[in-house]
């Protein structure tokens, strides 16, 4: 497996705690915080309310060197980011397996497919064959709009690219097959409301 | 979340590849290789045969310092192991959510419950409430015996400890509520055969 940095951007640790989540005074207009933060908060809401158990997977790293200054602690002194072999989020909702990938773009009229890797598509195809509920969430940061696209509707765009077609999906194309997830206060992005409509 | 090294043992990178898996000439008697290796191989078998999509989650690390020697690469130079907040393995089998934790012990007559953390039990309770299929796999390395215990039968042992009772489960107690997973060549540990029997 290739060791590389997933998206060429600097790593931003993103570990909210209950206390700093409550202290936030960000004003919520159309734009949310980062998509990852919004989804983590949403999943925390689902968890504490017994609605679903869905987590973001840890960032996969290849650990090369570890120091043991004390018996009880270990410091990783050399490690590298690995390309994830699956999607970032999965879990369970009413017995059903839930699996999705979330991406954001600053573009305002199209979504570049280079945000995904082939092995993620392969993973999602495998989940679909196992009758899992699998989808993609795409946030257009500048527009403040977030869409949920069932994988069966997203896959054809990928296939079109593989067949030599365009390397992006226009916003209008996405809108034709997606549901917009409205921003709320709590949960921030109630994507399960859309899942209920589509799959239950 | 506390940052600590999960089990006080040195970290052993465990990243098999298809090529080195084939080159192995370990003789298989009653004893397998490490439980993690056996389960990873089993999951790889399930995946390539389209039987299930089940993965081990990456080891969670708290990344503190990253170097960027080149634009396209990043080297993590300071990070720490975090206590996992979930179980290690999850995925989908015929639409159903599968979730389990796997532990091994060198003991021959009992399993120490200190191998688990309270938050893992809390996670498994949450999965159970969502009607997920959740269980524990325990390998007695010295005996070469591996058991699958549905969470509903494992949880009472934990509760007994919380209530002031013994901090371990005897092998006989486990046998009374577990199914033994026989070692096979491929898949190594066909735990889904037991899941089919119990849940389908």
Q: Going residue by residue through chain A (200 aa), what tens digit of pLDDT does each one get?
A: 344 444 444 444 444 443 334 433 334 444 447 999 999 999 999 999 999 999 999 999 999 999 987 767 899 999 999 988 899 999 999 999 999 999 999 999 999 999 999 999 999 999 999 999 999 999 999 999 999 999 999 999 999 999 999 999 999 999 999 999 999 999 999 999 999 998 88
Binding site, annotated residues of A for Mg(2+): 86, 88, 101, 120
Distance CA A85, CA B47 (A): 12
Interface test with A, best of B49, B97, B99, B126 (most A CBs within 10 A): B97
| Residues of chain A neighbouring B10 (CB-CB closer than 8 A) | 66, 68, 74
3-state SS class at A85: coil
Distances, alpha carbon A34 to alpha carbons A12, A167, B37, B179, in Å? 11, 24, 36, 45
From the number of C-beta atoms within 10 Å of its C-beta (0-12, 13-18, 19+), residue A16 rates as middle
Q: Can you tell me the distance from the alpha carbon of A21 to that of A41, in angstroms, rounded to the nearest whole number? A: 8
In this structure, which CATH number among 3.40.50.620, 3.40.1350.10, 2.130.10.10, 2.60.40.10 belongs to the domain A40-57+84-199? Answer: 3.40.1350.10
For residue B75, the chain A residue with the least C-alpha distance is A80
Q: Which residues of B touch A131 (CB under 8 A)?
A: 92, 94-95
d(CA B97, CA B85): 18
**pLDDT tens for residues B169-178?**
999 999 999 9
CATH number, span B35-57+85-199: 3.40.1350.10
Residue of A106, A128, A110 whose CA lies nearest to A172:
A110
Q: Which of B12, B49, B130 would you mutate first to test chain A, the one with the most A CBs within 10 A?
A: B130
- What tens digit of pLDDT does each residue of B2-53 get? 444 444 444 444 444 433 344 333 344 444 479 999 999 999 999 999 999 9
- Say if the Cβ atoms of A99 and B93 lie within 8 Å: no
Asked if the Cβ–Cβ distance from B97 to A99 is below 8 Å, we say no
Q: Where are the domains of chain B?
A: 35-57+85-199
Nearest partner of B99 among B54, B144, B60, judged by Cα: B54
Side-chain-facing half-sphere of A25: CA atoms under 13 Å: 1
């Amino acid at each position: 497996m290739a060791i590389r940095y997933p998206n060429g951007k600097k790593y931003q640790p993103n570990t909210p705690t209950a206390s700093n989540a409550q202290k936030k005074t960000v004003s919520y207009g159309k734009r949310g915080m980062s998509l990852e933060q919004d989804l983590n908060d949403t999943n925390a809401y689902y968890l504490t309310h017994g609605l679903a158990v869905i987590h973001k997977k840890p960032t996969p790293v290849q650990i090369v060197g570890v120091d043991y200054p004390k018996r009880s602690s270990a410091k990783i002194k050399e490690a590298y980011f690995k390309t994830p072999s699956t999607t970032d989020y999965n879990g369970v909702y009413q017995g059903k397996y839930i699996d999705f990938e979330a991406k954001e773009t600053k573009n305002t009229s199209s979504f570049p497919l280079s945000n995904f890797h082939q092995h993620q598509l392969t993973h999602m195809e495998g989940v679909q064959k196992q009758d899992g509920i699998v989808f993609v969430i795409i946030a257009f940061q500048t527009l403040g709009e977030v869409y949920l696209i069932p994988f069966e509707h997203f896959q054809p765009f990928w296939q079109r690219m593989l067949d030599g077609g365009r390397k992006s999906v226009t916003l209008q194309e996405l809108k034709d097959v997606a549901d917009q997830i409205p921003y709320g206060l709590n949960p921030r992005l109630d994507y399960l409301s859309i899942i209920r409509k589509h799959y239950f």
